[in-house]
Amino acid sequence: MTAMVQDILGSQLGLSLCFIAVSILVILTAVAYCIYFERKIAAWTQDRYGPNRVGPLGLLQPVADGIKFILKEDFVPGRVDRVLFHVAPMVAFIVAMIGFVVLPFGGRIRWPWMEEGTELLLQGASIDIGLLYLLAVGSMAVYGVVLGGWSSNNKYAFYGAMRAAAQMLSYEIPMGLALLTVILATGALRLESIVDAQVAHAWNLLLHPVAFLMLLTTALAETNRAPFDLAEAEQELVGGYHTEYTSMKFALFYLGEYAHIITASGLLATVFLGGWEPVPFTRLLAGTTWGGWLHWIASSTSPLAGLVRLGVFGGKIAFFVFVFMWVRWSLPRFRFDQLMRLAWKGLVPVGMGMLAVQGWLLYRGTPVHWSAPVAEVLLLVIAGAVNVASGREITGRQASLLRAASVRGEVGGTPAR
């Protein structure tokens, strides 16, 4: 019996399968509690108490929510596309749940009963193009929204779906550019290699601050979160793409959104915050007492260190999930033309400039550790200066649309269509 367990845990396939099973359970629980924390953080932001009746501190609220969702009537409105109406929430949820397998959760470990020199990866799957896999799966998430909105036979839901599609297509480009900058500097698409490179040098947050800001912005847009939640803008679209959904189907959309946030947070933590490394520059801290302990966490192959690394990575994910919620309850929603302009006239040019500068630095062979952050910040300053010098309002209507509207006698009104 013990030998069998050792055999299963001692092989990469067995360990990965166990790890995936455990992390699905953990993520499902975390997703349910995300909703609780969203409500708590909203309450703190608005100086309220938030859920505090069910269980101590309201901690059983997700259970109550779950029971309520299951007991509600599962209503299907008339004249909807029945197949797609049922498939859409599944798509939204499944796609959100398959991204996390490539995230490097815990680094390399070696069980005591294994041979010296053999190591296992504490993660679901290690594929050589992990970053591209995450991008591909992340871009699939919009299908749930689009299909749900289209099949509902409701004009508000349909508008939400079309907005989500346009938004996703626009924000994938700056997201790819920000990641490409890091890929170019690191020379790796494998997520573990990106973490290893950060442990060996410095966190990408310090090397590529602008790329980090860009990825954070586009991650907010990709997960349909405020200030980019135009697909479900309550004031304009009733409830957006999920207007017609009830019961557990509605809940699946919500759970999928939070699962997507967790995966996006994992991506941010992996690519920019050193993955499972507790603090930056642990390799320099090896001499001191506390530093030596941190260095042990980052470099040891003992299962205990692996467990601590899992905790560190989970903590970073939790931090980013908090940032997502914090942003949602602090910033107002963009108008749709502002959203498009931010992507196409702001993020895309800066991203392309960043990529070109990074390539030039690599070609010149300049040490990246000081030149990359300087160049990126300089680029951002230049872009801001150009914007100020052009004298256009950042939040104003698009000039060409305004001209067309004034010609048609719709001055000051809504943009021409």
Partner 1 sequence: MNTPAWLEPLMFYLFAGVALLSALGIVLCGNIVRSALCLLGTLGGVAGLYFLMFANLLAVIQLIVYAGGTLVLIIFGVMLTSKSPWVRFAARRGEIVASCAVVAALFVSLCKILTDVDWSAGATGSAQVVPVRDIGAVLLQDYLVPFEAASVLLLAVLIGAAYLARPQPAERTSAP
406 in contact with partner 1 (CB under 8 A): yes
Residues 154-183 that bind partner 1 (CB under 8 A): 162, 165, 168-169, 172
User: How many residues sit in the footprint of partner 1 (CB under 8 A)?
Assistant: 41
In angstroms, what is the minimal distance from the CB of 127 to partner 1? 5
The answer to whether 377 touches 391, Cβ cutoff 8 Å, is: no
* Cα dihedral across residues 361, 364, 365, 371: positive or negative: negative
String marking each residue 68-107 x if it binds partner 1 according to CB under 8 A? -------------x-xx--x--------------------
Give the count of beta carbons closer than 10 Å to the beta carbon of residue 386: 10
140 in contact with partner 1 (CB under 8 A): yes
404 in contact with partner 1 (CB under 8 A): yes
Look at residues 188, 217, 222, 177 and name the one whose alpha carbon lies nearest to residue 104: 188
Look at residues 64, 376, 71 and name the one whose alpha carbon lies nearest to residue 214: 376
Candidates 214-222, 227-235, 247-255, 396-404 — which segment interacts with partner 1 by CB under 8 A?
396-404
Supply the DSSP symbol for 56.
G
| 284 Cβ contact partners less than 8 Å away, ≥ 6 residues apart | 291
119 in contact with partner 1 (CB under 8 A): no
How many Å apart are CA 379 and CA 276, to the nearest integer?
Answer: 30
> What is the Cα 384 distance to its own chain's centre?
26
Tokens 């803008």 map to which residue? 233
403 in contact with partner 1 (CB under 8 A): yes
In angstroms, what is the minimal distance from the CB of 386 to partner 1? 21
Considering only CA atoms, give the Rg of the chain.
23
How many Å apart are CA 165 and CA 118, to the nearest integer?
Answer: 46
Q: What are 63's two structure tokens?
A: 């259970």
139 in contact with partner 1 (CB under 8 A): yes
Closer of 184 and 318 to partner 1 (Cβ): 184
Q: Which residues pair with 120 in a beta bridge?
A: 109
String marking each residue 239-278 x if it binds partner 1 according to CB under 8 A? ----------------------------------------
142 in contact with partner 1 (CB under 8 A): yes
Tokens 């993955």 map to which residue? 275
359 in contact with partner 1 (CB under 8 A): no
Which residues bind to partner 1, rule: CB under 8 A?
7-8, 10-11, 13-14, 81, 83-84, 87, 127-129, 132-133, 135-137, 139-140, 142-143, 146-147, 150-151, 153, 162, 165, 168-169, 172, 189, 400-401, 403-404, 406-408, 416
